[in-house]
A and B are shown apart, each in its own frame.
Chain A
Amino acid sequence: MSGRSKIADYLDVSLLARLPNLEFRAGFLVDGFLSGMHASPFRGGNVEFKEHRKYHPGDDISDIDWKAYARTDRLHIRIHEDDTNLNAHILLDRSASMNFRGPLATMDKWDYARSIAAALLLFLLRQKDASALTLVGGDADFSGPPATTDLHFRRQLERLAVNADSRECNWNSALAELEKEIRPRSIVILISDFYTEPRSLAEPFDRLRAKACELLLFHIIDPAETDFSGTETLLLQDNETGERLALTPELIRENYREQFREHITALTELVRSRAGDYLMLKTDRVPLDLFGAYLNLRAKRRKRR
């Protein structure tokens, strides 16, 4: 078990829910993540630090600083200072389906997703990565080009202070709209419950991939959505459409779970086949994994450069 996971075990998600605003939640998550960094496998956790160190067998020879070798006649590994022009686009699903909180969760998916988005913005700010937040509903609410300023961060946080009340989340149009705003080699982070056909995302993802963008999907799930427990007949109301349906969970549970698994598999394959990453985040757990996922993707991107 990694150090990060251990920290996540000790951090109570109810504590996160009780924090008064998104800034505090973002700080809680980022600080919680950084406190576990000593055990992190991710290189570049302290991305602002630049150094040389002695070469050890097994290190990537492309990282050897040959100039230093010419000067000192010793092999040193060059630890790159990270890019200062990295752009990250955070796309947050604000459809009404995010307004769901199951009996085991202490916060609804929207609150959870907003906390994640805020934490990412803070994390990116601290890494001097430019970030931009787009709220995706029926159409995309683009905030403008990514920036690395505190003022920009504050404005993004203010933008998160809305309700998830959109009747739909149209990823296709949102991504098509954003496509021209997203600079090549950006990191595109999608935070959603992804109640959409994975096949429909293939085309926009391909276009992003053509621009050398990295894709990162954070799938927000309430535990009740995966378990689908209960024996009595329920009258359910669709948060997005308002449609009602009477059903007995125990009758369709197996089928439901099977479809859910297939959906996750399809999403994972969709993203990973495009060199991106997929992470499922359940609302009853503190989402520290997301930073690791981000850093991992960032490191991969840097290596490909």
Chain B
Amino acid sequence: MNGFAFPAYLSGFLLLLIPIILHLMKRKPVVPQPYPSFFFLKKTIVRKQRRNNLRKFLILLFRCLAFLCIACAFAYPFVSDIALTPKDATILVLDSSFSTGASRAQMRSALKSALSDISPEHPMLIASAAGRIHWSGDFSADRNALETWALNRMDSCQTSSFATIFAMADSRFQNIQAERKHLVVITDRQALPWEGAARPGKLRNVSDIRIAGAEAGKKTPNIAVVRAELAGNYTHAGQDLLLNTEIHNFNTAPEPVSLTVELEKHIVLTKETVIPAHGSFREQFRLKNHVPIFRPIPGKIRITAKNNAISLDDTRYFAANPVTPPTVFLTPLPGQNPREFIRTALTSRGDTLDSLAPDLHPLTPATARNAIESDILIVENPNAVKNMESILDQQLASGGTAVILWRNSERTRLLLNHFGFHIRKAGLRETHRLELIDFEHPLFKDYLNINAGSWFDILFFNVPQIVPPQNARIIAAFSDRHPALMEVPRGKGKLFVLAVPPDRDHTNWQTFANFLPFWRELILQANRKSTIQTEFTADGSPHPLPGEVASPETEIISDGRTFRLNTPGCYLCGKLLYTINPPAKESDTTPLPENFDPSTLLNPQAAQILNQNTAGKTGILKAAAGKHSPWRLILLTALLCFLAELGLANRTVL
């Protein structure tokens, strides 16, 4: 179907009259001018004048074409292979989740059957639901193109949900003027995608909805590994690894299952078990680590079972990435040992740090270069090294964490000024308690689950009034509302400023039970190596990673620096292993109830709404939207015509 989105602009064709009238007016002067003799003129005039006539005709032609093209471009012509007001329009929602693998043949057949009705009077559109939603484009009558597009998207490693896709399809139906609008869902009848989608009356622009694909009431047998995670940190070479696993039987009968665990292609564990109907098998395995070098180790757990139609979720990948202890630099005060409390807190063995004791160093001129690359730099004595500001700047710029402890000295004042802090009063001889704590901050988040009250009992003496910079986040404040703990983003890192040094002259915080966890949590948050997400679920979305991606088991699937999360496996990027696993919930093959009626999703007033939409003048523009339009080409032609006219008319300026 060809048409114009704004046919009113076609009246611009009247502009053609301008060059034509000008041409006719100038074509031949009416009043003759006397001339003495044609003695010289007659010799050349005939040939030249013929050329002139041709030139004038070309100028007129180009002028007319230019105006014609401009008017035409404004009218926005479009070419479409469907009728402007088709009788029927259908959107095929294709469930492409990996659970449909068992019903692939039926779904393919259903797709071909649905597409057999396609025609310019019955255009169709396909939406593929798997992780992200993909559309085939606009409504089309090109059966082959749609079929090819759909068949290429039937395989995926992702889960599907109809909640969003139905809303989008309903919206897409608004853009087409059709008497009847059909929604066909081609699926394996798994109940999962319908969660949140089966809201009655949701679809306002759909005439009817039907389900095609797998047979109703038939359940797909499936057993899946739904969890495989390492417990604890991998901190040294040859360390045994603890693997938490969970295998689920979605079938209605107990199933014998054989499982195998591999570490870097070496089978390190095999086990036979029987999983009860609709039950799970959970166990923690200690895996013997045969890799003598301290480096990332890819691993996977694989099961084999008889009644198991879906194979993708039979394997689950995990990775053991080496975790090195955080490097901490401390600045000692000369002549005393005020950092005793902090050092004690950091070196004490607790649940969280038992295998990850921080690597503590004193900050001296000799160690300044290493301090820049440290995870955390705790500055209590700014005079420990000469150029403390520079070291802190570099350390923060590279993504480290720094903590400055207040001490009433000119050097500390200057250091804080460097980072935008202003000291209003150095020390108030009053006793303060904490009055405000941001428990949303990662440092304090866990205290809400334990006991937050103890924080407000701590006493503080001789505290300063510090005015933080604009971009500072106040995490805790004293009872006079002056900040006690502040966080400032700087470079890629974070700077914390603690308004009281943890010594006897300023606080009794050391005696509280939250003192040690606070410093441990700070160390954990600041550890650069432990904060990188390495486990992903296959959802087809791109994820930026810091470097080229290589897979020890499969081929390289990186396109530059973006990692598409669409194929399960272990992938090495830089010094870290990343894992992608299929979404566990998709393994649940519980089918839709046999009596499920999708027409409940339709709005009862849909017919009335449809009639209103059809009666309304919605849209040639909507019909034109997304269609091929040569308006750019037409505008370019207009420009070329103008240039040709300029050249022929021998004009040098516009």
Q: Does B38 reach chain A (CB closer than 8 Å)? A: yes
- Contact check, A256 vs B52: say whether CB atoms are below 8 A apart: no
B51 touches A237 (CB 8 A): no
A81 to B625, CA, bound (A): 105
Check A151 for interface membership: any CB of B closer than 8 A: no
Contact of A245 among B41, B43, B52 (CB under 8 A): B41
Q: A229 near B: Cβ within 8 Å?
A: no
> B30: which A residues are within 8 A, CB to CB?
235
CB contact between A239 and one of B34, B42, B44, B45 (< 8 Å): that residue: B34
Q: Separation in Å of the B651 CB from the closest CB of chain A?
A: 11
Interface residues of A in 49-73 (CB under 8 A from B): none
Question: How far, in whole Å, are A99 and B42 apart by their CA atoms in the complex?
Answer: 20
CB of B27 within 8 Å of the partner chain: yes
Bin chain A's interface residue count. 20 to 34
List of B residues within 8 angstroms of A222 by Cβ: 36
A248 interface residue (CB < 8 Å to B): yes
CA distance A233 to B56 in the complex (A): 11
| Distance of A234 Cα from B39 Cα, bound (Å) | 17
Distance in angstroms from B584 CB to nearest chain A CB is 83
| Known A-B contacts A235-B31, A246-B49, A251-B52; A256 and B41 likewise in contact (beta carbons under 8 Å) | yes
Q: How far is the CA of A243 from the CA of B38 in the complex (A)?
A: 9
Docked CA distance A241–B49 (Å): 21
Q: Are B45 and A244 in contact (CB under 8 A)?
A: no
11 more A-B residue pairs beyond the given contacts A109-B36, A193-B36, A236-B33, with a C-beta to C-beta distance below 8 A: A97-B37, A233-B27, A237-B34, A237-B35, A239-B36, A239-B37, A241-B38, A247-B45, A247-B49, A251-B49, A260-B40
A82 within 8 Å of B by Cβ?
no
Q: Does chain B have a CB within 8 A of A181? A: no
Q: Tell me if A282 is interfacial: C-beta within 8 Å of chain B.
A: no
A236→B30 CA distance, assembly (Å): 10
Known: A233-B27, A251-B49, A251-B51. A100 touches B36 (CB 8 A): yes
Q: Which residues of A contact B33 (CB under 8 A)?
A: 234-237
Contact between B45 and A252, CB atoms less than 8 A apart: yes
A251–B50 alpha-carbon span in the complex (Å): 11
Is A225 positioned at the interface, with any CB of B under 8 Å from its CB? yes
Bound together, the chains give a CA A97 to CA B34 distance in angstroms of 9
Contact A98 B36 (CB under 8 A): yes
Contact of A236 among B38, B43, B48, B51 (CB under 8 A): B38
B334 located at the interface, meaning its Cβ lies under 8 Å from any Cβ of chain A in the complex? no
Inter-chain contacts of A225 with B (CB < 8 A): 36
Please give the distance in Å from B546's CB to the nearest CB on chain A: 69
B26 at interface by CB-CB < 8 Å: yes
**CB-nearest residue of chain A to B40:** A259
Closest CB of chain B to A232's CB: distance in Å? 7
Q: How far is the CA of A135 from the CA of B41 in the complex (A)?
A: 26
Asked if B32 is an interface residue, CB under 8 A from chain A, the answer is: yes
Residue of B nearest to A230 (CB): B33
Q: Are B34 and A99 within 8 A (Cβ)? A: yes
> Is A255's beta carbon under 8 Å from chain B?
yes
Task: Judge whether B335 is part of the interface by a CB distance below 8 angstroms.
Answer: no
How many whole Å from A239's CB to the nearest CB in chain B? 5
| A240 at the binding interface (Cβ < 8 Å) | yes
The 9 closest A-B CB pairs, nearest first, are: A97-B36, A237-B32, A195-B37, A236-B35, A100-B36, A235-B29, A195-B39, A97-B37, A255-B44
Residue among B27, B35, B49 with most chain A CB within 10 A? B35
- A263 contacts chain B at the CB level, 8 A cutoff: yes
- Cβ of B29 and Cβ of A255 under 8 Å apart? no
Residues 237-264 (chain B) with a chain A CB within 8 angstroms: none
Query: Residue B28 at the A interface, CB < 8 A?
Result: yes
Q: Which residue of B lies closest to A237 (CB)?
A: B32
Against B, the Cβ 8 Å flags (1 = close, 0 = not) of A79-116 are 00000000000000000011110000000010000000
Given the contacts A248-B52, A251-B48, A251-B49, A236 and B41 also touching, CB distance less than 8 Å: yes
A233 near B28 with CB under 8 A, answer: yes
Pick 15 A–B contacts, CB within 8 A, sort by A: A97-B37, A100-B35, A109-B36, A225-B36, A233-B27, A235-B30, A236-B33, A236-B38, A238-B35, A239-B35, A240-B37, A246-B49, A247-B41, A255-B48, A259-B44
A197 CB to closest chain B CB (Å) equals 9
Complex Cα distance, B35 from A234, in Å, reads: 11
Q: A100-B34, A222-B36 are in contact. Are A233 and B45 (CB under 8 A)?
A: no
- Chain A's nearest CB lies how many Å from the CB of B40? 5
Cα separation A34 to B465 with both chains bound (whole Å)? 113
B269 CB → nearest A CB, Å: 97
Inter-chain contacts of B42 with A (CB < 8 A): 245
Please indicate the chain A residues that have their CB under 8 angstroms from the CB of B44 in the complex.
Answer: 252, 255-256, 259
Q: In B5-28, which residues have CB < 8 Å from any A CB?
A: 26-28
- CA–CA, A100 and B33, complex, Å: 10
Q: Are B32 and A236 in contact (CB under 8 A)?
A: yes
A244 to B29, CA, bound (A): 11
Q: How far is the CB of B23 from chain A (nearest CB, A)?
A: 11
Minimal Cβ-Cβ distance residue in B for A100: B36
Whether A259 contacts B34 by the Cβ 8 Å rule is no
The minimal Cβ–Cβ distance linking B30 to chain A, given in whole angstroms, is 7
Q: A residues 200-247 with Cβ under 8 Å of B?
A: 222, 225, 232-241, 243-247
B:43-99 near A, CB below 8 Å:
43-45, 48-49, 51-52
Chain B residues near A232 (CB-CB < 8 A): 26, 29
Chain A residues within 8 Å of B28, by CB: 233, 235, 246
Q: Please measure, in the bound complex, the distance between the C-alpha atom of A246 and the C-alpha atom of B28, giving whole angstroms.
A: 7
Query: CA–CA, A225 to B38, complex, Å?
Result: 11
B45 proximity list for chain A (CB < 8 A): 245, 247, 252
Residue-wise, chain A 109-136 has the 8 Å CB interface mask toward B (1 for contact) of 1000000000000000000000000000
Contact pattern, A 17-28, Cβ under 8 Å of B = 1, otherwise 0: 000000000000
In whole Å, how far is A168's beta carbon from the nearest beta carbon of chain B? 10
Are B29 and A233 in contact (CB-based, < 8 A)? yes
Interface string of B174-216 (1 = CB under 8 A from A): 0000000000000000000000000000000000000000000
Output the nearest chain B residue to A250 by Cβ-Cβ distance. B650
Distance (Å) between the CB of A110 and the closest chain B CB?
A: 10
C-alpha gap A97/B29 in the complex (Å): 21
Q: What's the nearest-Cβ distance from chain A to residue B50, in Å? A: 10
- Please give, as numbers and ranges, the residues of chain B lying within 8 Å of A247 by CB-CB distance: 41, 45, 48-49, 52
Among B26, B28, B32, max chain A CB count under 10 A is at B32
Q: List, in ascending order, chain B residues with CB within 8 A of A263's CB.
A: 40
Q: Give the interface centre of B33, B38, B43, B44 by most chain A CB atoms within 10 Å.
A: B38
Inter-subunit contact B36/A234 (CB<8 Å): no
- State the Cβ distance, B588 to closest chain A Cβ, in Å: 85
Task: Tell me the complex Cα distance, A243–B39, Å.
Answer: 12
A260: chain B residues within 8 A (beta carbon): 40
Chain A residues near B35 (CB, 8 Å)? 100, 236-239
Give B43's nearest chain A residue, CB to CB.
Answer: A259
* Contact of A252 with B48 in the complex, beta carbons under 8 Å: yes
With a cutoff of 8 Å between Cβ atoms, the chain A residues found around residue B34 in the complex are 99-100, 236-237, 239
In the assembled complex, the Cα of A99 lies from the Cα of B34 at a distance in Å of 9
- B59 to nearest A CB, angstroms? 12
**Interface core residue of B27, B36, B44, B45 (most chain A CB under 10 Å):** B36
Shortest Cβ distance from residue A259 to the other chain B in the assembled complex, whole angstroms: 5
Query: Which residues of A sit under 8 angstroms from B32, Cβ to Cβ?
Result: 235-237, 244
Residues of A within 8 Å of B39, CB to CB, are 195-196
Report A170-202 CB contacts with B as 1/0, cut-off 8 Å: 000000000000000000000001011000000
**A255 / chain B contacts, CB cutoff of 8 Å:** 43-44, 48
Chain B residue at smallest Cβ distance from A255:
B44
Q: How far is the CA of A251 from the CA of B43 in the complex (A)?
A: 13
The chain A residue sitting closest to B45, CB to CB, is A247
Interface residues of B in 615-636 (CB under 8 A from A): none
A244 to B34, CA, bound (A): 9
